[in-house]
Structure 1
């Protein structure tokens, strides 16, 4: 540790003791089942290597905001990598539920986007009302394949889950969806689940996505709903984020992604966040630095809210 330049790697401890707990989901079998480019199973460990020098912990841009004064960050390790995908999903759901019950904020790094259903399911088990926000170029409501889940199916599973329909204030939001990437059959499936669902198309939000994202968060806060932000990084333009399973020629900018993560962190009703589809076998450094910066901005946003509540 350099005392004049402290980074996240200097303050993260390896256990579940943090207010925010990092969990890795090292699986891309769901991507393979969905005919995507495999390699995201290496995402969590590549993320950790780059996270060591991410920071700084004291950010002068936010009036010398010192993360250490308001938050403890820990690394709870990976889900066991030797399981079947179905077993891994079950272990992930149990792990996330345990953390939520302890009042922790799980931040899950994948791995394929199939992780998002077990994450959402864990929150459903512990919340009266939830908002699930899928930041993604794709809708991810494809049918199962041979009765098996995959990286394109997590939110169909959510929308077919009877628990989700038990509270009329529950919401599922598709954010930054790209019409060129979304089958009309899947769009109509989302529409058929209205009013529980809503699509914010990329073309409609691209000039100022943060304003639209804030409006969703505000609505959830007014409903007193717990929020799960699921961030598939293939929603980010591939010139900034090339190392993903399905890169986007157009999409959110790196700055917009960080702004969204910062604002998500600011809301105390955001109880869970995940990042999916970082694929270091395709491109490790540039994408990995951005993904760690998204995590950093989430932490920074939460620390700012806690500081502002005190002062």
Structure 2
């Protein structure tokens, strides 16, 4: 190739030797062992109650991640020495939603059983994947607490359509996979929920922070309260981020966008703080729909959620190499 110095690999963008991109620290899993942080795609969206192309999100989030640098200038933190493994995507059944969810459960539970120190970052998919991911996570970790960022309670009944992207927390509570007192919902929004479902989560002793709470309190204070609530009760904490918690102006690529949502910067602040906590041992991002997004704006916000989570882990003294 030396006689053709201007040829390079297809789809390779400009390379600056002084810049480390996140794509440079993500490597394909060699299928022998898992260490540190791992990306895992769960591309399920057939269970969405509205049109959804969320099955394409793992790919667009990966692409968005690859384009950012590893350096957090505001904090003086560089992720350049991290080694992140990409385990690929879980194969979904073509038509069977329950079977697809079962595959997610078995995969997450098995990976964590074999590699208990592995830190999973799950790329959804619609929000229905939360039931099997948390179920698999709790099987490996024991008593689990969940901090859910979402505009919705997601406790729809299962009679009017079966398992969907609005029933996952109903399933987790009804199967006693998690206790209501160990679920914290942040960003619940006006005109996005019904009173019967709000009454249901209250009866289950779920802790709820509405968008009014988010506006009136510092985000870090809400996170501190959440960790203080969960710490004595659980052995591990899992973070679920439904991207529709973010205001539609900043995350237009969701099936359930709406006004009055969270500012992306507030979400980043919360995720950074949670990343610093040793008990927080898993993160998922759901409900990014690239088919209705604009210039991958929502995937880019999702990528920043992951980067702020890793930044928090490094601030907390952890490194994975």
Given the two structures, how large is their TM-score scaled by the length of structure 2? 0.86
Deviation (angstroms), 1:18: 4.1
* Equivalent pair of 1:99/1:106 in contact (CA under 8 Å): no
Deviations 1:172-220 (A, max 9, x none): 11111113211000011111212xx221111122242332122102332
Secondary structure of the residue aligned to 2:231 is helix
Deviation (angstroms), 1:147: 6.5
Decide which of 200, 203, 208 is 1:199's aligned counterpart.
208
Deviation (angstroms), 1:223: 3.9
Residue aligning to 1:41: 55
Secondary structure of the residue aligned to 2:67 is coil
Structure with the largest fraction of helix: 1
Partners of 2:210 and 2:71 lie apart in 1 by 36
Residue aligning to 2:145: 131
Deviation (angstroms), 1:146: 5.9
Say what the alpha-carbon RMSD is for the aligned residues.
2.0
- Decide which structure has the larger Cα Rg and report it: 2
Unaligned runs of 5+ in 1: none
Deviations 1:40-96 (A, max 9, x none): 111111111121112x22334323x23244x43111111114442222211111221
Decide which of 284, 288, 293 is 1:274's aligned counterpart.
284
Unaligned runs of 5+ in 2: 1-14
Alignment of 1:84-103 (within 5 A): 84-101=96-113, 102=115, 103=117
Alignment length, in residue pairs? 297
* Equivalent pair of 1:20/1:72 in contact (CA under 8 Å): yes
Cα 1:307–1:95 shift into 2, 3 Å: closer
Alignment of 1:34-183 (within 5 A): 34=49, 36-54=50-68, 56-63=69-76, 65-69=77-81, 71-83=82-94, 84-101=96-113, 102=115, 103-145=117-159, 148-165=162-179, 171-183=182-194
* Equivalent pair of 2:219/2:269 in contact (CA under 8 Å): no
Partners of 2:243 and 2:219 lie apart in 1 by 15
